[in-house]
């Protein structure tokens, strides 16, 4: 009897010791607890992060640029943010300890969402109209490239700075003719506010000449240098979360609903499904695996950024993406 109690106590002590050994790793999300956040919550609830020695706590974000300074200052070791905005941040803050290590949106969701009844059908239709754009929005950050690729006269477009909470309501109320945003965010939010999908025009920037990547996992490089195995474990857990989400999007949003009970479960399932279809599980990812980038395409995206942004320092892809924390055998999501 005593022996059994001793063994039980030893096992309990080992479990407590193992839990205590987990490294706290705050993760700065790009946006709210909506459909595309589900894979990271799955990784927490199913213990994928825990299995890698990480105690991950996820914080909501305020836009796809929001996480960059959080990670650069070391307040968060990990974040999710737009890699194109990261390029500009590092140009303006040379030597900042932050880089991308895992591509999430192989095809970015940057979009202009407009109303057909207000005359928005093509990019040119934006001229003479009011465009609502939140200043911290990743899609707005790339709008100059979209404008240049489609020969838009910016002097003919009235840009109305709007807040994220008011962006879709203003479009639904007809106060602006179009907004910049993520395709899976703005379209569904506007639909929920009474504008059917068939009455919306969705101009995906990637369909109109914008050859960029989207959001990526960021890491504080000082943290990564000290904890390389934990960083490798983090990206592994993220990949497992996305794989589960792809296998069953409806089940994937359950952890989301427990954090955001006011969310519409069906809507968030649709939002997650759209992000998987259009942004994550692309043809390139199906063939080459999840998380990496193509060097030639990255070079092209830098050149495209140079066409609308004057780099102070010579751009260097090695500063923006470090693939060394990804496995030699790529993550396959199906």
From first to last of its 334 residues, the chain has per-residue pLDDT tens of: 434 433 444 444 434 334 457 999 999 999 899 999 999 999 999 999 999 999 999 999 987 788 999 999 999 999 999 999 999 999 999 999 999 999 999 999 999 999 999 999 999 999 999 999 999 888 998 899 999 999 999 999 999 999 999 999 999 999 999 999 999 989 999 999 999 999 999 999 999 999 999 999 999 999 999 999 999 999 999 999 999 999 999 999 999 999 999 999 999 999 999 999 999 999 999 999 999 999 999 999 999 999 888 999 999 999 999 999 999 999 999 9
- pTM of this structure: 0.86
Q: CB–CB of 146/175 below 8 Å?
A: no
- Residue 4 has a pLDDT of 42
- Residue 321 has a pLDDT of 98
Q: Which of 196, 200, 218 is nearest to 78 (CA)?
A: 218
Rounded to whole angstroms, how far apart are CA atoms 271 and 277? 10
- Residue 20 has a pLDDT of 52
User: Any idea what the Cα angle at residue 196 is, between residues 191 and 201, rounded to 5°?
Assistant: 90
- Quickly count: other Cβ atoms within 10 Å of residue 301's Cβ: 23
- Residue 10 has a pLDDT of 41
Please give the domain boundaries of the chain with CATH numbers for all domains.
22-107+213-325 (3.40.190.10), 110-207 (3.40.190.10)
For residue 298, give the H/E element and its range. Answer: helix 295-306
- Residue 74 has a pLDDT of 97
DSSP state at residue 154:
G
Structure tokens at 141: 């950050």
Rounded to whole angstroms, how far apart are CA atoms 133 and 321? 28
Query: Which residues lie across from 321 on neighbouring strands?
Result: 100
Q: Which of 139, 183, 179 is nearest to 162 (CA)?
A: 179
For residue 101, give the H/E element and its range. Answer: strand 98-103
Rounded to whole angstroms, how far apart are CA atoms 298 and 294? 6
Structure tokens at 324: 């060394």
DSSP state at residue 84:
H
Query: Which residues lie across from 220 on neighbouring strands?
Result: 98
Rounded to whole angstroms, how far apart are CA atoms 118 and 270? 26
């Amino acid at each position: 009897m005593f022996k059994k109690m001793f063994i039980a106590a030893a096992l309990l002590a080992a479990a407590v010791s193992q839990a205590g050994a987990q490294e706290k790793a705050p993760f700065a999300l790009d946006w709210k607890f909506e459909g595309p956040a589900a894979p990271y919550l799955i990784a927490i609830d199913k213990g994928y992060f825990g299995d890698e020695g990480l105690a991950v706590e996820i914080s909501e974000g305020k836009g796809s640029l929001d996480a960059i300074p959080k990670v650069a200052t070391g307040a968060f070791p990990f974040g999710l943010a737009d890699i194109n905005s990261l390029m500009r941040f590092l140009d303006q803050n040379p030597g900042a300890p932050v880089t991308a290590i895992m591509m999430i949106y192989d095809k970015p969701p940057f979009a202009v969402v407009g109303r057909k009844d207000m005359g928005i059908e093509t990019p040119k239709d934006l001229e003479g109209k009011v465009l609502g754009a939140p200043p911290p929005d990743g899609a707005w950050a790339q709008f100059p490239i979209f404008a240049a690729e489609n020969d838009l006269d910016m002097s003919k477009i009235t840009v109305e700075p709007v807040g994220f909470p008011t962006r879709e309501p203003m479009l639904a109320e007809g106060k602006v003719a179009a907004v910049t945003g993520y395709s899976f965010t703005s379209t569904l939010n506007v639909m929920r506010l009474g504008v059917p999908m068939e009455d919306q025009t969705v101009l995906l920037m990637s369909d109109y000449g914008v050859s960029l990547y989207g959001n990526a996992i960021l890491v504080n490089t000082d943290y990564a240098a000290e904890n390389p195995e934990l960083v490798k474990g983090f990206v592994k857990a993220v990949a497992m979360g996305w794989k589960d989400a792809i296998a069953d999007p409806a089940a994937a949003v359950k952890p989301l609903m427990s954090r955001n009970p006011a969310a519409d479960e069906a809507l968030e399932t649709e939002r997650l499904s759209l992000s998987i279809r259009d942004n994550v599980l692309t043809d390139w990812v199906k063939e080459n695996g999840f998380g990496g980038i193509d060097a030639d395409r990255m070079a092209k995206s830098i050149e495209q950024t140079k066409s609308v942004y004057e780099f102070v320092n010579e751009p260097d892809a090695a500063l923006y993406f470090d693939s060394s924390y990804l496995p030699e055998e790529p993550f396959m999501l199906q």
